[in-house]
Copies of this chain bind each other. A is one copy, B any other.
Amino acid sequence: MFFQTLDILGTIAFAISGVLVAMHKRMDPFGVLIIAFVTAVGGGTLRDIMVGVEPVSWMQNMTFVYVIIASTIFAVVFRNKLKHLRKSLFLFDTIGIGLYTVVGIETGLVAGLHPLICIALGTMTACFGGVTRDILCNEIPVIFRKEIYATACIVGGLTYFALREFLEDQNYLFIIAGLVVIVIRLIAVRFKISLPSLYKVEGEQED
């Protein structure tokens, strides 16, 4: 119950982020709906087919479809309230990766997978929808940019398994891990923090 709530909140956040990017690209209404859809279900679809949950979960639960359609209509109608498009997009996308990281970890745990695999699954669930959105909208995909993105998901996942030793209540664990992802990304972008790159091989030429 609690867990499905997180999944639906993530769906709303990603659907809205999809609407914002698609409207920015002046897509027609069906195009906007399709991008909202792909952004919201992309990560979960990849997760489900890799684990073997088929038909994939959003196909078996109409709640997701209705939530995406409603979020799309909401975001279109109130687009003038979302004045600063880039800031709104950043916020909804960040909430989305926080929630979906946790949802992906949970799916891995239910399938009895190793913690490292669960973290990988959480990171993929969180990142794949946004990456697909950006590729379809011809934007530079979020993970190409200099910002911390997938790294926040990985750290959130590590936090989950580190705290599991001390905390019994899984719901708290989920909330903390999701918040870690969101806070890391917010702080990183706000203060322009990024990890150093591994330097280019010395003496290498652009041969």
Contact = CB atoms under 8 A, between A and B. Distances in A.
A52 B54 contact: yes
Interface residues of A, number: 59
Specify how many copies of this chain sit in the oligomer: 3
Interface string A37-81: 100000001000111101110011010010000000000100110
A114 B69 CA distance: 15
A1 interface: no
A196 B150 contact: no
Given A28-B197, A31-B150, A54 B50 contact: yes
A56 B62 contact: no
Interface string A90-117: 0000000000000000000001011011
A204 B52 contact: no
Chain B CB within 10 Å — which of A28, A45, A85 has the most?
Answer: A28
Contact of A54 (B32, B49, B116): B49
A27 interface: yes
Nearest to A152: B30
Contact of A207 (B28, B45, B84, B198): B84
A52 B50 contact: no
Nearest to A30: B151
A182 B64 CA distance: 30
Contacts of A197: 23, 26-28
Interface of A: 23-24, 26-32, 34, 37, 45, 49-52, 54-56, 59-60, 62, 65, 76, 79-80, 82-86, 111, 113-114, 116-117, 120-121, 123, 136, 138, 141, 143-144, 150-151, 154, 194-204, 207
